[in-house]
Amino acid sequence: MSPLLFALCIEPLAQRVGLNPDITGINIGKDTFKIALFADDTLLTLTHPQTSLPNLFNEITNYAKLSGFRVNNSKSEAIAISLQHHHQKILEMNFEFKWRKDTMKYLGINLTPKHKELYNKNYPPMIQKLISLINSWEKQHISWLGRLHTLKMMIVPKILYLFRTLPIPINITDLEKLQKRMLTFLWNNKPHRINKRVIMRPTLQGGLNFPNLLNYWKAAQLAQMVKMHCSPAAVRWVALETQLLAPQSPRSILWITRNHRPQITLTNPILRHTMRLWDKLLVKHKPWISSDPSPFTPIVNNPEFPPGTDSQAFQWWTTNQYTDIGSLTPLGNLLTWDDLKQKKAIPNREFFRYAQIKHFIQSKLGRSNRQKTTFERLSYHPHHKQQITWLYNELNTHKTPNKTKHMI
């Protein structure tokens, strides 16, 4: 059966699990997260397992009678998080999963009970595996450009998968170890004849576009930040972060000044990593990441604009999706009151709120008409399939010096 057909067939079971009140998941705000599906791989995040697991298997049994579906217990894994030892022992006796203590693999990622263990269980093993793979090619007769393309095709996609799926800080030393091995392989363990910064440049700047792993990692993290602008209905993890950040949203949190951000951006490890990296990249690459001010600067629920924190008073603006500077300056200039009358039939009671918004935007925008940056343009189209390529190219673009230095 093709993955697409299987996905269609498994959906009724997923719906039953999601709607069964006796199968409890993780509650965050108004949402409950208990099942994730990718082809024939299923991940369940359940609470109260003494009740949830028996009811889960009842649903599976009923579904199997109609479809022939069967759970392969020998391939099914479970990991207990914050579960008392004697409760876990009872579950292990009643459910024949492979009960893991440290890690559980899902879609190639080693999931751990504690967030701080994710790095050590994923990155060092993968980097060592890739170095061993490169070592196995040493005896092969491969041309210089062939070595370059081998690294691009065989190494970069594997490490890029970790970059994309794990929004966590990395140990630069580990990454440099792999980067160094890639360079020695390129030069066949001989002295480098061209500075690595030169060969890492884009081809239009006289380089070979040799993979810069650190920039690929930054690009992957920035691509996740672009995804934060997706609708919660379209991307499940955006829905989760929307509940965590309420009344703010993932879309707006990047554009709120640091001293006005909610406390959870300091306590949640994933959000903390995202915001710290964002602040660093914004300082270093501001010209192509953010205009000043950004069209994404929020009006509603932005502490920098105190009137907008009263969500009830600004209900009309939220309902009509006028929640940031860009929505009110579609052509660069602020929509007039008459424009809003014609487009949305804005009621007269909103005139005072309009005056407040106008003052805030004009104090930010002045009279200039700023162009959107590369990052902002991507954020307006967050489902673009080549985000990492665009972002990597921006990170990897450097001014070409007058003279190319060679290493003899």
Q: Are residues 258 and 159 in the same domain?
A: yes
Same domain, 158 and 132: yes
Q: Are residues 124 and 104 in the same domain?
A: no
46 shares its domain with 98: yes
If asked whether residues 121 and 249 sit together in one domain, one would say: yes
pLDDT tens figures, 189-214: 898 888 988 999 988 888 899 999 99
Q: Are 308 and 298 in contact (CB under 8 A)?
A: yes
Q: Does residue 129 lie in a domain region?
A: yes
Residue 119 resides in a domain: yes
Cα of 159 vs its chain's centroid, Å: 15
- pLDDT at residue number 203: 86
* Whole-number pLDDT of residue 147: 94
Report the alpha-carbon angle 25-40-36, nearest 5: 25
pLDDT at 1: 60
pLDDT band at 404 (very low <50, low <70, confident <90, very high): very low
pLDDT of residue 368: 53
- Model confidence at 348, in pLDDT bands (50, 70, 90)? very high
More confident residue, 5 or 135: 135
Domain boundary, last residue among 350, 365, 380? 365
Residue 341 domain flag: yes
Q: What is the mean pLDDT of residues 210-227?
A: 96
Angle between helix 49-67 and helix 3-19 axes, rounded to 10 deg: 130
Report yes or no on whether pTM surpasses 0.85. yes
Tell which residue, 40, 43, 39, has the closest CA to residue 17: 43
- Residues with Cβ within 8 Å of 102's Cβ and at least 6 positions away in sequence, in order, are 112, 113, 117, 121
As a whole number, mean pLDDT of residues 245-274 equals 89
Split at pLDDT 50, 70, 90, the class of 366 is: low
Query: Would you state the structure tokens that stand for residue 314, as one six-digit string?
Result: 């600004």
What are the pLDDT digits (tens) for 12-22?
989 999 999 99
Range of the domain at 143: 114-285
Q: Are residues 310 and 359 in the same domain?
A: yes
Do 253 and 245 contact (CB within 8 A), yes or no? yes
Residue 344: pLDDT band (50, 70, 90) is very high
Q: Does the structure show a pLDDT above 90 at 291? A: no
- For the chain, the residue count is 408
Contact 301, 308 (CB under 8 A): yes
Condensed to tens digits (0 to 9), the pLDDT of residues 306-315 reads: 999 998 999 9
Residues 89 and 154 in one domain: no
- Give the end of a domain, one of 56, 76, 109: 109
- Position 299 confidence tier, pLDDT thresholds 50, 70, 90: very high
Query: What digits encode the pLDDT tens for the residues 373-389?
Result: 899 999 999 998 889 99
Do residues 53 and 129 share a domain?
no
Residues 6+ apart with CB under 8 A from 123: 162, 166, 170, 171, 174
**What pLDDT is attached to residue 364?**
82
The yes-or-no verdict on residue 233 having pLDDT over 70 is yes
Residue 405 has pLDDT above 50, yes or no: no
Residue 343 has pLDDT above 70, yes or no: yes
Number of domains in the chain: 3
- Same domain for 244 and 347, yes or no, is no
pLDDT at 104 over 50: yes
Q: 42 near 35, Cβ under 8 Å?
A: yes
Residue 347 lies in a domain: yes
Residues 157 and 269 in one domain: yes
Q: Is residue 297 part of a domain?
A: no
The per-residue pLDDT for range 27-76, each reduced to its tens digit, is 988 888 999 888 778 899 999 999 999 999 899 899 888 888 888 877 88
User: Quick check: is 356 in a domain?
Assistant: yes
pLDDT at 260: 86
Which of 53, 76, 109 terminates a domain? The answer is: 109
Of 2-6, 31-35, 149-153, the one with minimum mean pLDDT is 2-6
Residue 379 placed within a domain: no
Confidence band of 402 (pLDDT split at 50, 70, 90)? very low
Same domain, 105 and 142: no
Q: Quick one: tokens of 322?
A: 């006028």
What is the model's pLDDT at position 332? 81
Residue 399 lies in a domain: no
| 118 and 104 within one domain | no
Residues 328-338: tens digit of each pLDDT: 998 888 999 99
- Going by pLDDT thresholds of 50, 70 and 90, the confidence category of residue 279 is very high
Q: Residue range 274-297: average pLDDT?
A: 89
